[in-house]
């Protein structure tokens, strides 16, 4: 389950950034996960609940935005969002090139920022 290592890195990165900004408690973390990123949202949520204990994210909620796969046909220029992992162009039938849906990025976080801290 590589989701555990992904979430461990997420918690470490957000904790480090929050501490640098003077944030005392993180309330929410927003994460974009592409359907082609090979990370299961339910596994990420499960791992997040395990890993966040005893950190400034202990009470945080993980909000996951699932990004659908996107494809582009280099032959005829058609761009399309399609739920499949591989996709043939609807117009010419040639394999389309994946252009989206592989995201795995922290979109932001919110928390308590006492005086003197830098807001995120």
Q: Contact at 8 Å (CB) between 83 and 69?
A: yes
Q: Residue 83 has what DSSP assignment? A: S
Whether the pTM exceeds 0.75: the reply is yes
d(CA 20, CA 84): 40
Q: What is the pLDDT of residues 43-92, one digit of tens each?
A: 999 999 999 999 999 999 999 999 999 999 999 998 988 877 778 888 88
3 state SS of 65: strand
Flag whether 60 is in a domain.
yes
| 90, part of any domain | no
- What is the CATH number for 21? 3.30.2320.50
Domain containing 58: what range?
3-68+101-111
Please report whether residue 18 resides in a domain: yes
């Amino acid at each position: 389950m590589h989701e555990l290592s992904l979430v461990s890195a997420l918690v470490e990165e957000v904790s480090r950034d929050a501490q640098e900004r003077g944030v005392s408690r993180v309330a929410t973390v927003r994460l974009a996960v592409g359907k082609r990123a090979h990370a299961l949202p339910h596994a990420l949520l499960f791992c997040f609940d395990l890993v966040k204990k005893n950190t400034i994210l202990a009470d945080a909620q993980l909000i996951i935005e699932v990004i659908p796969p996107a494809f582009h046909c280099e032959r005829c220029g058609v761009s399309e969002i399609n739920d499949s992992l591989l996709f043939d162009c609807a117009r010419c039938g040639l394999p389309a090139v994946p252009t989206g849906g592989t995201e795995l990025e922290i979109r932001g976080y919110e928390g308590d920022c006492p005086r003197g801290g830098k807001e995120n």
